[in-house]
């Protein structure tokens, strides 16, 4: 895949500045109004209320920066482990909303952020210490299996950190191993969010982010997490390249 070199114009720059002027304000207002009321609610009900903040961010991004999205493919009816490409911050917001109720694996530092982190901590995240990989793997597995047993899905970014468009990180197999141990499907997810929510840059480029949900992989016949991880990795990387090449441009959700 060719290196992605976005052209950043003056208007997207101004629109992005406006986006970030109101972004923290929305977070403060929403968290102030909701956290005191949801603190003692059951987990699933609490998540349903708190993810409305994600809806606000998706709405503001569309209105202010002209960034929309479309989803191709369907999620299984049963609980699952999802593994997704990680190009930007956008998919952490959108997938947490689209896969709800879900527990997302993230770095524990995020929970220390005022307002945003406080709300996030109430949504059953799997917060890990990336400086201690061995402990992080144990936390992902133990907490992920526990949340699956409580009726939540689990979302993992197997590359571990955001990777620029056209690049690929090393895929960890914790998601595949968790799905096998829990006996639930593994759902691969590809997208091109990094072409609009630029990695390591605050400018947002207008357009449509395409999210493709792959067929759920039945893990009952699998006992090799490495092979399962490789299968999902190959599909994700191939599909990301196809999205960027425009192969899904004319396809709408009803035609998939």
Beta-strand pair 67-72/126-128: unpaired
- If you ran DSSP here, which 8-state letter would residue 133 be given? H
The pTM for the full model equals 0.92
Asked if 58 and 9 count as a contact pair (C-beta separation under 8 A), the reply is no
Q: Which of 132, 160, 156, 130 is nearest to 143 (CA)?
A: 156
3 state DSSP class of 241: helix
Cα–Cα distance, 238 to 256 (Å, whole number) = 17
Per-residue pLDDT reduced to its tens digit, 113-158: 888 788 888 889 999 887 787 888 888 999 999 999 999 999 999 9
Domain 10-255 sits in CATH 3.40.1130? yes
Per-residue pLDDT reduced to its tens digit, 5-46: 677 889 999 999 999 999 989 888 988 888 888 878 898 899
Beta-strand pair 81-84/186-191: parallel
């Amino acid at each position: 895949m060719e290196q992605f070199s976005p052209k950043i114009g003056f208007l997207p720059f101004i629109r992005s500045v406006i986006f970030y002027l109101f972004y923290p304000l929305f977070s403060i207002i929403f968290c102030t109004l909701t956290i005191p009321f949801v603190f003692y609610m059951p987990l699933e009900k609490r998540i349903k209320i708190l993810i409305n903040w994600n809806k606000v961010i998706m709405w503001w991004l569309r209105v202010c920066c002209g960034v929309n999205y479309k989803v191709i493919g369907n999620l299984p009816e049963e609980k699952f482990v999802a593994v997704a490409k990680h190009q930007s911050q956008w998919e952490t917001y959108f997938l947490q909303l689209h896969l709800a109720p879900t527990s997302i694996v993230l770095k524990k530092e995020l929970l220390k952020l005022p307002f945003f982190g406080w709300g996030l901590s109430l949504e059953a995240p799997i917060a890990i210490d990336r400086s201690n990989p061995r402990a992080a793997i144990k936390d992902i597995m133990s907490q992920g299996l526990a949340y699956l047993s409580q009726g939540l899905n689990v979302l993992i970014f197997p590359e571990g950190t955001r990777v620029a468009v056209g690049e690929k990180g090393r895929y960890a197999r914790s998601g595949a191993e968790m799905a096998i141990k829990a006996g639930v499907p593994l759902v691969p997810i590809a997208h091109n969010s990094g072409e609009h929510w630029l990695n390591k840059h605050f400018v947002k480029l207008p357009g449509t982010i395409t999210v493709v949900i792959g067929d759920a992989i039945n893990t009952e016949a699998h006992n090799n997490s490495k092979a399962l991880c490789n299968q999902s990795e190959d599909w994700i990387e191939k599909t990301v390249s196809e999205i960027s090449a425009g192969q899904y441009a004319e396809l709408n959700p009803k035609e998939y």
